Structure 1
């Protein structure tokens, strides 16, 4: 009915917004309508096979066919236009490591690579024991020579598909519509990921096989029907089906368990694609997040060895080496990363940080500005640029850089804190007070802002306000020795010696080796003994 057709189009629209493959459902609905609902013999209409006129007339008996097909066609066109507009009227740009097979020189070898990938996809549908979360970066090496044995696999697969299509044309059994619909359901949903119409950003993506798997199930069903026809071993076939379903169910459960955690997922990927640089990169990143830097370094180095132009792995490895103090190698890695990908803003910023630590101040500033040139809304880069200007004693430039950081990211705590400290140090206490109030509008419970604002009020001799903000800061971070020390200084200057001593003693308990706290306690005792 038209109602259910509109429901189907609505769900197709939602799926297309999630993933462009969803638009293929329009084609599937069209094929299902023609083949199964109206029972139209398209092969007879196209004169590929003869048929009686009466059967053709009977097949056209549905008067709403053209209306449904028109609705599907218009919906498909509108969805394509809308999706194209969302994409900015341009196809995405991919790098060679995303899909190296589409960058192979020569149309013949490119076609051979594509056909081989189609064969791998079919093999995954038949035997889902060989699954990986990412198939890029050397997981499947490209075919560049006719001596490669995989050329024969691609040729055999192509011949098999052609024979299957010819068989579907010549089949005159009552199950022919099932065979044709199976092939449509197998092939059509795969077309957006086939590299035929446009380059895609993956080698193999198991997600594009979700709908195609339904076609494969129907094709297997057709094969079972054909095997069972005219045989007395139906019991054997039934047992085989049960075993097949049990095997696939067990594999689904096993794969679901692998997806429960990143660690198990990445480890399963390493077993399938040990030459995939991205697999090792993800394992390295996972170890880095856990603080296991030794293993992270090993994995990042392995990823770079497998893919020498892997700029993201270079950036992450350089960050770990920077934290370990191995600045020279970190600088070399980051320089190579921005050479490979000049628009890599994060690598430019990290290069600036390393160069600043190496006291290459001029180069550091250029690197920060280069990062901002490629990513204008980059609050962390503005923050680091402000730190560089602070080191150069360019105070106004530093304040402006931190201001840019807080405009882009109002919750950037470090930028607010550094601004307050610098304004405090240069004596701009009234301006610092205003900045602190502005920061508290977006960070009302941030103890660093509260603490620095309390210090500023203390210097302005607004002791009541200073005490208030010190207590608020301590409420958020009550085990901070510095906070107890500074509120003790406030009480000391205010003449509230009992409270000052209590604060000093708490600070000393939290940090017994603090010389300033010890000196302040001694000073307080001398003043009391006078």
Structure 2
């Protein structure tokens, strides 16, 4: 990588470092927000006590890849860097943000080197500066989980730069750079999935840049060969060989990746991506409309939002929807650029072609074209595509600045864009200071996303401001009346405010939105595990009334019938059965829960209490000790086992 950066002068590198530092210095004062909570704060894979092999068995969020709830995002090398951060500073957010800033600087410098392959020196610096200050990158740089984009981009660009060295004198093949490319592609993919798309860029580069073919020449050659009037040129055979090696390596990576996710795609709800579960033509029209939406964010990043799920962008349900004009305009413009870049020879068309490849190919995994993703729009996935956009802008600026009439205007416009983008980025960073500031900034852009109202409520709830949190949760139910989670949040907050009647009403509304049993009809319905907590929460609420214990037990059993592997339902039911003086049934519930999770110290403790009720102190003591083996500081297990040994006179010898 250092060798590839050798063409970048010290002044250019210093300029980029200074610009990035000026734009992102305030990101060091931000905390862990939004997805950082799951990926950093709640991820046990960061802890030194967790075996290192777990990083290669779990997804990005620390969930085993084999579990249904896993998002199947396999990024072990990114998690490894989080673990290194934790090793040096534990959960001090400054170190995490600082490393992200450093990675962004590295990406900008390597990107400058890539630009110099297609642009002159001045335009390359312009493209790199545009990339460095673009506000769309705040989510990738200031959001700690955006490190996946940063790391993947470094190896993505390094892989491409390596491949550009694979053409030797007299068009011979140099295999070492190709081998390095394949290795770097694998590393990029282990940082984030989109890293594999660099192979497509290498293929386009090989055919249209390194070999200098144009589409008419390729078509004419193919026609001549098919007619038997010619043979495949030796140079073309060499090109095919290189492409076959690249494609075979890519296929191997894809096969390994499919095996890692155990041939299962993640399952998302309609709230994550409403278009994914919509009927035709709404699904196709909406997915196509999202392309100009993403393009507009690159062109005009004035209104940025951390979460574009749920009702942020209403579905395009009809051909008469005026938004289809934007889709049509986008495809006409894109098509004209593609025709220009493939049909005509010359440096300008080659620059446009490579810029388009950087825009289109890395975006394909997030485009919903081949499989649905768990978001509508995500700003951080535009990190790599924005490279192609910046090359296009810099190339256009070069054309304008070369005209004497427009030279001064082009420089003024460039300065204005760089300055306003830098200010916007600096200001946007402050939105990521806390969860409250982040979600409030998102609500200014979009008030139709119930998830945002819920998230502001959660932020206030964490501060024990239940009255104000309730207002946001209620607003979420009004924005999305069928959002089960929002009604559960309202119920929980009412409970925290000791308003049990209102809490029960809210839980009942949430319960009514769950899939209902239809007598005499068999059908399958997917239920989000978190939504099943409505049965637990409602049962926990009503069991405070001694006359409603059977009703609470019925709710626990209903949750178990809907999801037999619902561990928390067995635990809560076991506690209730003890309260109902049914220790044998409580024992059955805890044993079933232990079949699902034998590493839960609380479960072994609860089972020990059941054995005390069953007058079996020896078995109780065994279970207390199992709890202590898993958690030596389990205070209740320590106290009760000591008390039991004192009262019964039993000395447990493992």
CA deviations on 1:129-172 (whole Å, 9 max, x unpaired) are: 22212111111112234554323333333332233334435555
Task: Name the counterpart of 2:87.
Answer: none
Q: Are 1:220 and 2:408 counterparts?
A: no
Give TM-score scaled by structure 2 length.
Answer: 0.63
Alignment partner of 1:311 out of 484, 504, 513 = 484
Within-5 A mapping of 1:427-442: 427-442=615-630
RMSD after superposition: 3.2
Partner of 1:335: 511
| 1:408-487 equivalent positions in 2, closer than 5 A | 408-409=596-597, 412=600, 414-424=602-612, 427-460=615-648
> Relative to 1, partners in 2 of residues 1:191 and 1:318: Cα closer, same or farther, differing over 3 Å?
same
Contact 1:97/1:137 (<8 A) preserved: yes
Retained in 1: the 8 A contact 2:208–2:214?
yes
The change in CA–CA distance for 1:331 and 1:175 in structure 2 (over 3 A counts) is closer
Inter-partner Cα distance in structure 2 for 1:407 and 1:111: 44
Structure 2 vs 1, CA of residues 146 and 289 (structure 1 numbering), >3 Å: closer, same or farther? Answer: same
Q: Does 1:149 align with 2:322?
A: yes
Distance 1:418 1:282 in 2: 34
Distance 1:347 1:331, change over 3 A: closer
Question: Post-superposition shift, 1:279?
Answer: 1.0
Secondary structure of the structure 1 residue equivalent to 2:543: helix
2:470 and 2:493 in contact (8 A); partners too: yes
Distance verdict in 2 for CA 1:66–1:226, change over 3 Å: same
Instruction: Please give the secondary structure, in 1, of the residue aligned with 2:384.
Output: helix
Hey, what's the Cα distance between the residues in 2 that align with 1:77 and 1:363?
Answer: 55
Relative distance call for 1:379 and 1:116 in structure 2 (3 A) is closer
Partner Cα separation in structure 1 for residue 558 and residue 262 of structure 2: 26
Residue 23 of structure 2 corresponds to none
Q: Give per-residue Cα distances to partners, 1:465-499, cap 9 Å, x unaligned.
A: 89xxxxxxxxxxxxxxxxxxxxxxxxxxxxxxxxx
Q: 1:70 aligns with which of 244, 253, 258?
A: 244
- The within-5 A match list for 1:62-141 is 64-107=238-281, 109-141=282-314
Deviations 1:376-420 (A, max 9, x none): 554432221111211221112223433444565556455444444
Change (3 A) 1:88 1:454: closer
Structure 2 Cα separation of the partners of residues 335 and 259 of structure 1: 34
Per-residue CA distance 1:183-219 (angstroms, 9 max, x = gap)? 1221122222222223333211223212211110111
Specify the SS of the correspondent of 1:46.
Answer: helix
Relative contact order (C-alpha < 8 Å, sep 6+): which is higher?
2
Q: Which residue of 1 aligns with 2:196?
A: 23
Alignment of 1:160-199 (within 5 A): 160-169=333-342, 171-199=344-372
CA distance in 1, matches of 2:286, 2:375: 13
Matched, 1:387 2:568: no
Give the deviation of 1:332 after TM superposition.
Answer: 0.7
Distance 2:577 2:526 in 1: 24
Residue 353 of structure 1 corresponds to which residue in structure 2? 540
Q: Distance in 2 between matches of 1:435 and 1:106?
A: 56
Could you say if the C-alpha distance between residues 153 and 348 of structure 1 is closer, same or farther in structure 2, counting changes exceeding 3 Å?
same
Q: Quick one: distance in 2 between partners of 1:204 and 1:301?
A: 25
Taking the aligned partners of 1:311 and 1:388, their CA distance within structure 2 comes to: 25
Once residues 342 and 30 of structure 1 are traced to their aligned partners in structure 2, the CA distance between those partners, rounded to angstroms, is 41
1:86-118 deviation digits (Å, cap 9, x = unpaired): 3343443333222223444443x5443333211
Q: Which runs of 5+ in 1 are unaligned?
A: 49-56, 467-530
1:110–1:446 Cα change, 3 Å: closer
Structure ID, larger Rg: 1
Whether the aligned pair in 1 keeps the contact of 2:571 and 2:589 (CA below 8 Å) is: yes
2:584 matches 1:396: yes
CA distance in 2, matches of 1:143, 1:306: 19
CA contact (8 A) 1:338 1:348 kept: no
Task: Give the deviation of 1:123 after TM superposition.
Answer: 0.8
Aligned residue-pair number: 456
Q: Which moved more, 1:291-300 or 1:423-432?
A: 423-432
Deviation at 1:421, TM superposition (A): 4.4
8 Å CA contact 2:600, 2:630 repeated in 1: no
Alignment of 1:270-281 (within 5 A): 270-281=443-454
- For 2:509 and 2:194, locate their aligned partners in 1 and report how far apart those are by CA, in whole Å: 38
Asked if structure 1 preserves the Cα contact closer than 8 Å seen for 2:431 and 2:438, the reply is yes
1:41 aligns with 2:214: yes
Give the SS at the match of 2:347: coil
Change (3 A) 1:183 1:44: same
Please list, as runs of the form range in 1=range in 2, the aligned pairs for 1:507-522 lying within 5 A after superposition: none
Cα distance change, pair 334–114 in 1 and its aligned pair in 2 (3 A): closer
| Greater CA drift, 274-283 or 248-257 | 248-257
Q: Provide closer, same or farther for how the CA distance between residues 403 and 145 of structure 1 changes in structure 2, counting only shifts above 3 A.
A: closer
TM-superposed deviation, 1:119? 0.9
Decide whether the 8 Å contact of 2:487 with 2:507 is kept in 1: no
Q: How does 1:200-215 map to 2 (within 5 A)?
A: 200-215=373-388
Q: 1:179 to 1:439 in 2, by over 3 A?
A: closer
Distance of 1:305 and 1:74 partners within structure 2: 52
Q: CA shift at 1:73, angstroms?
A: 0.6
- Is the 1:136–1:202 Cα contact (8 Å) retained in structure 2? yes
Question: What does the per-residue CA deviation read over 1:416-463, in whole Å, with 9 as the maximum and x for residues that have no partner?
Answer: 44444454455433333333233322232222112212322332357x
Aligned pair in 2 of structure 1 residues 454, 129: CA closer, same or farther (>3 Å)?
same
Contact 1:361–1:388 (Cα < 8 Å) also in 2: yes
Cα gap change, 1:110/1:394 in structure 2, threshold over 3 Å: closer, same or farther? Answer: closer
- Whether the 8 Å CA contact 1:436–1:453 is kept in 2: the answer is yes
